[in-house]
């Protein structure tokens, strides 16, 4: 008995030691993550986007602010990069140069404000100039005006953390512009297992200037003309850059877990109006399984009844459920 107790005690001690070891291993990365997230400074720019109209052969002067809203000081530098998107979800691309991102090469910065140092809770104004060439193509041009800083305190650990934020420059060059595009998809789901309710769209811009789509989303109960959701007071908008397709969504976050509704989405885009109206059912998965089970049971019951009636009409005796053979009338002596 004593040996068994000693053996059991050793096992308990070993288990505790293993648990403490695992806890230490888990805690170490957590401490490292917390340390890496406690950056001494926080960089942001204002505004986050600018829309400008330009003439070929002209100069356009503007500025933006670099702000330090953190607890430590940092040095920054400003520069321009191309701006484009890579897919229908509009994933940003700050490196690919194309027809509509030439403006990045036209931007120059004031040497006095291009770089600087910011103390906590201070800001600096960065001045820049867009020098538009005489042969600049008409239509949209897009660039990102970046402000970048590096966390020098982490360089001692051979890790260089780069913080970069930018302002998107949406420019329109005067000249022969083309405003063309279409609504490729205007979709409303017919069945939703779980809220919220989301309607989608896919729009294409085949012109050479940016275009804006406006969205109206309405929801009615099945037997009620009064809307339970309507965004007419604050319609959704979506900007589509030239030469791209963009996927859009509008969501009704207040949708119930169960219900039947009429749903309508209207898209106004480049002088076109696309309207889709559809009956939408919201039903949780567990209830759907119950409904399907009841339907299958009813179908099985109806088929069984029909077969029984056919056999009765043909004068067939009912079959024994166990043997599957027709029962014979037994005469009693």
Q: What is the predicted pLDDT for the residue at 163?
A: 85
Instruction: Look at 127-141, 177-191, 315-329 and tell me which has the smallest mean pLDDT.
Output: 315-329
Q: Do residues 115 and 78 make contact, with C-beta atoms less than 8 angstroms apart? A: yes
* Residue 161 CB contacts under 8 Å (≥ 6 apart), including other chains: 36, 39, 150, 151, 154
If you write DSSP's letter for every residue of 173-215 in order, what string do you get? E-SS----EEEEEEE--SEESSSPEEEEEEEEE-SSS-EEEEE
d(CA 168, CA 100): 13
Residue 298 has pLDDT above 80, yes or no: yes
Residues 123-137: what's their mean pLDDT? Answer: 97
Residues 290-300: what's their mean pLDDT? Answer: 92
The fold for domain 43-173 equals Immunoglobulin-like (2.60.40)
Is the pTM higher than 0.85?
no
Considering the four listed CATH numbers 2.60.40.10, 3.40.50.920, 2.30.40.10, 3.40.50.360, the one that applies to the domain covering 181-282 is 2.60.40.10
List, by residue range, all CATH 2.60.40.10 domains of the chain: 43-173, 181-282
* Residue 106 CB contacts under 8 Å (≥ 6 apart), including other chains: 130, 131, 132, 133, 136
d(CA 282, CA 259): 5
d(CA 68, CA 251): 35
Which is higher by pLDDT, 49 or 331? 49
Q: What is the predicted pLDDT for the residue at 155?
A: 46
pLDDT digits (tens, 9 = 90+) for 37-91: 334 458 999 999 999 999 999 999 999 999 999 888 999 999 999 999 999 999 9
Q: What is the predicted pLDDT for the residue at 211?
A: 96
Q: What is the predicted pLDDT for the residue at 135?
A: 95
Neighbour order of strands in the sheet with 74-82: 49-54, 161-173, 139-151, 74-82, 115-118
Q: How many residues does the structure list for the chain?
A: 333
Summarize the chain as % helix, strand, coil (round to 5): 25, 45, 30
Residue 139 has pLDDT above 90, yes or no: yes
Residues 269-280: what's their mean pLDDT? Answer: 97
Which is higher by pLDDT, 2 or 220? 220
CA of 292: how far to CAs of 287, 288, 306, in Å? 9, 6, 21
Q: How would residue 319 be classed by pLDDT, with cut points 50, 70 and 90?
A: low
Q: What is the predicted pLDDT for the residue at 70?
A: 87
Q: How would residue 288 be classed by pLDDT, with cut points 50, 70 and 90?
A: confident
Q: How would residue 11 be classed by pLDDT, with cut points 50, 70 and 90?
A: very low
Residues 2-19: what's their mean pLDDT? Answer: 44
pLDDT digits (tens, 9 = 90+) for 248-269: 999 999 999 999 999 999 999 9
């Amino acid at each position: 008995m004593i040996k068994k107790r000693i053996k059991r005690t050793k096992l308990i001690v070993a288990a505790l030691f293993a648990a403490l070891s695992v806890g230490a291993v888990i805690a170490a990365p957590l401490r490292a993550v917390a340390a890496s997230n406690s950056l001494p400074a926080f960089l942001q720019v204002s505004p986050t986007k600018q829309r400008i109209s330009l003439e070929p052969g002209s100069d356009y002067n503007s500025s933006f602010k670099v702000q330090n809203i953190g607890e430590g000081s940092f040095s920054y530098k400003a520069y321009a990069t191309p701006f484009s998107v890579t897919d229908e979800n509009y994933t940003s691309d700050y490196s690919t140069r194309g027809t509509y991102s030439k403006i990045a090469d036209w931007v120059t910065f004031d040497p006095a404000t291009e770089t600087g140092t910011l103390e906590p809770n201070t800001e600096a104004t960065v001045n820049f100039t867009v020098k538009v060439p005489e042969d600049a193509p008409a239509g949209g041009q897009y660039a990102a005006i970046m402000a970048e800083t590096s966390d020098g305190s982490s360089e001692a650990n051979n890790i260089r953390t780069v913080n970069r934020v930018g302002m998107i420059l949406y420019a329109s060059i005067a000249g022969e512009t083309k405003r063309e595009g279409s609504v490729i998809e205007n979709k409303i789901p017919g069945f939703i297992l779980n809220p919220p309710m989301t309607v989608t769209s896919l729009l294409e811009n085949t012109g050479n200037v940016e275009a804006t789509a406006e969205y109206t989303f309405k929801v009615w109960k099945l037997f009620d003309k009064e809307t339970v959701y309507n965004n007419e007071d604050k319609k959704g908008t979506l900007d589509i850059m030239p030469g791209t397709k963009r996927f859009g969504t509008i969501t009704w976050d207040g949708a119930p877990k169960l219900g039947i509704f009429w749903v309508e989405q209207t898209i106004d885009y480049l002088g076109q109006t696309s309207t889709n109206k559809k009956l939408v059912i919201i039903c949780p998965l567990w209830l759907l399984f119950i409904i399907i089970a009841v339907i299958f049971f009813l179908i099985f019951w109806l088929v069984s009844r029909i077969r029984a009636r056919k056999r009765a009409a043909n004068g067939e005796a009912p079959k024994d459920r166990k043997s599957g053979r027709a029962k014979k009338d037994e005469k009693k002596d």
